[in-house]
Amino acid sequence: MTKSEKIVIIGAGSLQFGLGSVGSIINSETLQGSTVSLHDINPTNLDLVTQACREAINKKKFDIELESTTDRKKALKNATFVINSIEVGDRFKLWEEDYEIPRRYGSNQIYGENGGPGGLFHSLRVIPPILEICEDITKICPDAFVVNYSNPMSRICLAIKRKFPSLNFVGLCHEFPGFVHHYSKILDTPLSNLEMRAGGLNHFGILLAIRYIDKNKDAYPDLRKKAPQYLSNLTGFENDVDLIKYILEKFGYIPYTQDSHYGEYISWAWEKANIEGVRAFYNGYKSVTLSTGKRIQKSIERGKGALLVKSDNERAIPIIEGIITDSNHEEDSVNLPNDDVITNIPRDLVVECPAIVTKKGLKAIKLGDYPKGLAALLRNQASVQDLVVEA
């Protein structure tokens, strides 16, 4: 147990993210005695999150000191960990413009958050302020470990790597852990009985290997056989998988995301993806996010915010705990510089890969050569990301 950690949450005014992050911290035995500093440029939302978190800490008498400020430099003073999750402007309004404007001029992008012309617009908005944050970190708390959740993940992390090469950071996304339950269902075996290796680029990765633990047997032949029918039967917000099924059938490997994200990086995705499913996914996500935000705000205003400060399912806090305790545990999917992690794509890139957590940070697990056809797709995207980050 330590009494000296200070965890700064940048973008804490995002209600779900702020409450979930603090919920995970205050429920961590390892982090008792720490200071949590909440920072956001939106004082109204920041006050709401602070109110709920303070109530939760006081109610259960957690040994956590809570700070809250709109002054980033003040928040970063003496920080040992920084978690960043910011967006610029009205994200849904801007995301829709990122999608609609390129289509108005002939682009057939299927989504517009991370790849394609829309991903370029998004990158140009969000990378500059994140680099400003990182510059403050290098001046105020240069030894702090940085966790980034903001998208476009690969491009942001590549920009950080290039401009601040000494910064110890990781990019986190819940895409892989959020998709693996499908593999368990396809193979009709508990997730705990599957050993997996996955990697690529964020939102553009594949399951590289999968084994049954009890049989010590390669499970990919069964997955290739059973997955097409399973994917065809998916309904609701999970049914935008036509492109995913096509990739599996043509390349022999299954991505760990849906059409909406994987197709952002492929110019011909419009011909193969479930476009109606992609739009339904976006509309559903927007509706749930906005309604949940309103519900959370009303609960806090009624004095019931403490009930909403719960541990989330994200990996930032387990990784922070692992660094503090030198756990040497494995994380399935993180974003780190490509220091020969994937050997047949450019090194000046940030890749999604498994890693070991140590007191020094995260050490990527080498994946070797990527399947050739899919490596060609990654190399194309590497060139795009190179130009975007340079811009």
Give the residue numbers annotated as catalytic, written as ranges.
Answer: 174
SS3 for the chain is CCCCCEEEEECCCCHHHHHHHHHHHHCCCCCCCCEEEEECCCHHHHHHHHHHHHHHHHHHCCCCEEEEECCHHHHHCCCCEEEECCCCCCHHHHHHHHHHHHHHCCCCCCCCCCCHHHHHHHHHHHHHHHHHHHHHHHHHCCCCEEEECCCCHHHHHHHHHHHCCCCEEEECCCHHHHHHHHHHHHHCCCHHHEEEEEEEECCEEEEEEEEECCCCEECHHHHHHHHHHHHHCCCHHHCCCHHHHHHHHHHCCCECCCHHHHHHHCCCHHHHCCHHHHHHHHHHHHHHHHHHHHHHHHHHHCCCHHHHCCCCCCCHHHHHHHHHHCCCCEEEEEEEECCCCECCCCCCCEEEEEEEEECCEEEECCCECCCHHHHHHHHHHHHHHHHHHHC
CA-to-CA separations, 203 to 171, 198, 208, in angstroms, rounded:
12, 12, 15
Which residues, at least 6 apart from 100, have a Cβ–Cβ distance to it below 8 Å? none
Instruction: Give the strand pairing for 217-218 and 145-148.
Output: unpaired
350: how many CB neighbours lie within 10 A of its CB?
28
- Residues 368, 373, 379, 381, CA torsion sign: negative
